[in-house]
Chains A and B, each alone.
Chain A
Amino acid sequence: MKHAPDLSRRRMLLGGAALGAGALLTACTSNEPDEPSGGGAQTAAAGNNQNAAPGQKVTIGFSAPAADHGWIAAITSNAKAQAGAYSDVEFKTVEAGADAAAQRAALQTLIAQKPNIIVLLPHDGKELNAFGLEAMKAGIPVVNLDRAFPDALAYRLQIKGDNYGMGVSAANYIVAQMKAKGVSNPVIGEIAGIDSLELTQDRSKGFADTLAQAGFKVANRRAAEFTADTGQREAASLLQALPKMDALWNHDDDQGIGVLAAITQANRSEFLMVGGAGSKAAIEAIQADNSVLKATVTYSPSMASSAISLARLIAQNKGMSDLVELQVPKEIILASETITKENASNYLKLGF
């Protein structure tokens, strides 16, 4: 009994199917949209500022963690775009790798290239503090972005957002809404980000403190992981735990995609939701007013653009034009702004 002829046909069919599937798949990796979307980077308008006139040439070294989240990706793209807007800036980046140790190694190569100034978003402020001290001692000023170095000698400028202030803004909005609706004992839920990060703890503390001032408290708090699928998972659990809710604060709009999905799947709409960080999708949803999302509090990756602008000023020995002092300040904490339907149009270009 010959089996060979049957097998060869089967093999040919299987091989053909595999090749066909493979060819189809390789065609499906493109992410180019059919119509070009208007450029998304958030840059400072050059031109109406005397400081923006081209001056001495400077080299800016830049390092930020490898992006696994839209916010970090926006930081890097904003920095690049802002540097590109200045004709007198040469922009050098190094891939920061997966953790603080890899970033340290990458930064050593950056120092060897002798930039005029380094702009750094460290994986962890405490772990890269020593690098900041070393660079400052070697005569290269360091601009510390977002995750703070504990040592004042480790940076020339520290520019960061206000995590505690995010919680305060979110809570203020919720308190105002509850008072307006006349709800005396609201059931408030909270979906936080990665709990092991200090910034999450700061945000939750700001939220809880401000609510306590109004006599409210958080009924149930779940921690997701800044991704959409974990946001959906935790939101589904939260919605089960609180059969009736009045307000929900979600720390991050990227994980908010999953949170909104969970809300739609559970068919719940009796509460209002506040987002965080200010993604473009969230701002558009707030404008459209077609979901429970009514507001968001910013923590904008535009801080990278500001950091590059200020790094250029520091390297050229200039100060900020609105200040009387001749040099750039030591520490800048950006305010957390609340975006609602009324002012959403102003913030659309800042959404990431």
Chain B
Amino acid sequence: MTAQTAAAPVKEPEKPAAEERRWWRVEPSEGLWRNLALVAVLAILIIAGIITKPELYSDGTWVRNNIFTILELASVIGVVTVGMTFVIIGGGIDLSVGAIIALAGVWSTTLATQDYGAGGMIFCALAVGIGVGVVNGILISYGRLVAFIATLAMLVAARGLAAQISNKQTQVSTSQFINDIAANDFLGVPVLVYILAAVVAAGWVLLNRTTFGRRTVAVGGNPEAARLAGINVKRHTLLLYALSGLCCGIAAVMLTSQATSAQAAMANLYELDAIAAAIIGGTLLSGGRGTIIGSLLGVLVFSTITNLFAINNLSTEVQNMVKGGIIVLAVLIQQIQFKSLSQFFAKNSKLTTS
């Protein structure tokens, strides 16, 4: 008000033209571009499904069931990928996630644990997951082992322990509550999807709205600078691996529920799927950058591909080749500097209007 009424020896600089404030002129963050690209890939896959199988997609109930099937397929890997994203952003890597799931699953379905009922089984799975994660963290942060080697060793050891405990048999879960987690819907949406949504939401809040998340990005971007800034890098790394272990424990309960059983060979090669999903979701393998939404979209892309191939009766060999191709393509595309692309377009339009 006062700026307008005061006699102005100083002329108010011309307010920039109103159109420059429009959102499409504002620099979008790189993360947003990346996520939009992934949504576009998802849309392409769904359209491919519609084109190849119009008779299936014409049925509304089938489409609804298919969406939930894709989400249920993505739920276990999604939970693991949330934990993996945190670890990778923090500059580490966790190759043992599949083995932790197997160990947690097997431990929680032994006859002794099943006597404690569903609560005991869930507690056991979470405790084993966190415990193994803490061991990983201690080896890596305080033992100063390279993350790759430490988690590789844990991968082998945990599977061995799982085989020992289960005596290489498949352990069937007799807990109706646990088995129902994968079988039941709540208000029409499968319970597994709710769990996935809850973990993703919690992960997003943790990464973007808490100091823990800020510190994770700092530690991953430049650990020495983070240490000098006062962050206890060692303790933070330990917590990251414990978080990954916790996610594996949750995933173990979900997978045991889906298969109504657990065995030492379960969750085979999940670590590769989780890492691939995190990478195509925009997480930098060297640390310091990544988003939870991107990782979730990465997981959904892989699940949608699996679903597309299944309904078209294509073999797994072709599917694996396509998955490999998508990973390479995603990383290549992300290397294009989106900033310079949008600057290029903006520059061109300025030339034409002036």
Q: Which positions in A face B, CB cutoff 8 Å?
A: 21-22, 24-25, 27-34, 66-70, 72-73, 195, 219-223, 225-234, 236-238, 240-241, 243, 254, 257-258, 260-262, 264-265, 281
Contact = CB atoms under 8 A, between A and B. Distances in A.
Q: Lowest 5 A-B CB distances belong to which pairs? A: A237-B310, A67-B168, A228-B259, A30-B112, A28-B113
Contacts of A240: 65-66, 69, 307, 310-311
Interface centre among A220, A221, A243, by most chain B C-beta atoms within 10 angstroms, is A243
14 contacts: A25-B107, A31-B111, A31-B165, A68-B264, A72-B168, A234-B310, A236-B73, A237-B69, A237-B306, A240-B307, A241-B310, A243-B59, A258-B258, A258-B261
A69 B261 CA distance: 13
A261 B262 CA distance: 12
B167 interface: yes
Interface stretch (B81-89, B124-132, B209-217): B124-132
Contacts of A73: 167-169
A28 B110 contact: yes
Contacts, number: 142
Interface stretch (B265-273, B285-293, B328-336, B343-351): B265-273
B179 interface: yes
Given A69-B265, A254-B170, A261-B258, A21 B131 contact: yes
Given A66-B168, A237-B73, 9 more contacts: A22-B131, A24-B127, A31-B166, A68-B163, A236-B73, A241-B313, A243-B59, A257-B172, A261-B259
Interface centre among B110, B131, B163, B259, by most chain A C-beta atoms within 10 angstroms, is B259
B259 A231 contact: yes
B260 interface: yes
A220 B56 CA distance: 14
A67 B306 CA distance: 29
B260 A261 contact: yes
Contacts of B258: 229, 232-233, 258, 261-262, 265
Contacts of B168: 66-70, 72-73
Contacts of B165: 29, 31
B182 A265 contact: yes
B166 A257 contact: no
B254 to A, nearest CB: 10
Interface of B: 56, 59, 62, 65-66, 69, 72-73, 107-108, 110-113, 116, 120, 123-124, 127-128, 131, 163, 165-172, 179, 182-183, 255, 258-268, 306-307, 310-313, 315-317
Nearest to B164: A29
Contacts of A228: 170, 259-263, 266
Interface centre among B59, B167, B310, B315, by most chain A C-beta atoms within 10 angstroms, is B310
B67 to A, nearest CB: 10
A257 B259 contact: yes
B266 A227 contact: yes
Interface class of chain B by DSSP: helix
A29 B107 contact: yes
B69 A225 contact: no
Contact of A219 (B123, B128, B259, B313): B313
A29 B128 contact: no
Contact of A229 (B131, B167, B267): B267
A70 B166 CA distance: 11
Contact of B260 (A70, A72, A257): A257
Contacts of B315: 195, 223
Given A31-B167, A227-B268, A240-B65, A233 B73 contact: yes
B187 to A, nearest CB: 17
Nearest to A261: B260
B170 A70 contact: yes
B112 A29 contact: yes
Contacts of A30: 110-112
A28 B182 contact: no
B75 to A, nearest CB: 11
Nearest to A239: B69
B163 A28 contact: no
B307 A257 contact: no
Nearest to A22: B131
A141 to B, nearest CB: 29
Contacts of A66: 163, 168
Contact of A32 (B56, B111, B307): B111
B260 A236 contact: no
Contact of B112 (A27, A219, A220, A236): A27
Contacts of B317: 195
Contacts of B313: 219-221, 241
A33 B66 contact: no
A234 B264 CA distance: 19
A258 B72 CA distance: 14
Nearest to B156: A98
Nearest to B255: A229
A32 B315 CA distance: 41
